[in-house]
Amino acid sequence: MTHDILCFGEPMLEFNQQPDGRYLPGHGGDTSNCAIAAARQGARVGYVTHLGADAFGDSFMSLWRDEGIDTSCVRQVPDAHTGAYFVTHGDGGHQFSYFRAGSASSRMGPQDLPRNALEQTRILHVSGISQAISESAADAVFEAIDLVRAAGGRVSYDTNLRLKLWPLARARAVIHAAMAQCDIALPGLEDAQQLTGLTDPDAIADVYLKLGAGIVALTLGAEGTLVATPDDRRRIGGRQVTAVDATAAGDTFDGAFLARLVAGDDPFVAARYANAAAALSTQGYGAVAPMPHRAAVEDFLSKEHP
């Protein structure tokens, strides 16, 4: 199977705190979220990872199959577990607590890559988290990038900076080394400010263009997205909704944006669509359940005032 988008990283079981204090089980992990968001927009999506041979791993396999995501590049291993995390909500927003040390995904290395699938995909999507979980995983991402680009595919990279996983200096070195080999840069503003030491969105976009990206989509939260190419740049406004949980809004943006790129949209049109998808995803709890399908996004956009 030739994939439009092949996502690589660590899926994690999610336990999301509800208003009554109980925790709702679900599925998370940034690149898995991106894969599901892209599949719900109609893209042909596959996933690359290792899972534990456990109930959590089985749950992900069922989820991806239900979402139409190809699992031929997923392996369940008997000697490691599937990671999990908890989401709590307070006045300062949502906070994450992770239980992932020694997970099956973190033990992956270059020798575990599905080379044929990587050489046939149109876009490989990875993130800072894909590389932060272990040194071997970081090496695997670099190798995957090399395989995809050598075969003529494109690489998408979301910074997704998590300083609980690695120190800023190492994160900056690894992320920017990977960004220098990517075609589509998907940094978040807060991440990029820490990684670059800059505050101005246009200056940040310039950094990633100079590293070599052909498209930079710098997400600005409720303010929307700054999209920059070597020839043009525009701010694409955010969409107003009543948000209750922004857990996977950025991942939803990534998946919707990439799905529209492979469908033929230019990056500015794709960002308008992805902003709408991300906004809709904040109207429910959890990473996956609130992610909209294509029909819902198109309906939302059709009601937008000119």
Span 167-217, pLDDT tens digits = 999 999 999 999 999 999 999 999 999 999 999 999 999 999 999 999 999
| SS3 at position 177 | helix
Q: Do strands 45-52 and 23-28 pair parallel, antiparallel, or not at all (unpaired)?
A: unpaired
**Token pair in block for residue 273:** 């669509």
- Closest to 234 in 3D by CA, of 225, 244, 223, 243: 225
Using alpha carbons, list the distances in angstroms from residue 20 to 16, 23, 89, 103: 11, 9, 11, 30
Question: Which has the closest alpha carbon to 77: 105, 109, 48?
Answer: 105
Residue pointed to by tokens 């529209």: 260
Cβ atoms of 280 and 241 closer than 8 Å: yes
Distance from C-alpha of 126 to C-alpha of 196, rounded to nearest angstrom: 19
Q: What is the mean pLDDT of residues 283-295?
A: 87
Cα distance between residue 118 and residue 120, in whole Å = 5
Element (H, E) at 65: helix 55-66
Residue 91's pLDDT band, with cuts at 50, 70 and 90, is confident
Report the alpha-carbon distance of residue 53 to residue 3 in Å, rounded: 25
Q: In this predicted model, which residue has the larger pLDDT, 102 or 284? A: 102
Query: Is 25 within 8 Å of 15 (Cβ atoms)?
Result: yes
pTM here?
Answer: 0.94
pLDDT at 72 over 70: yes
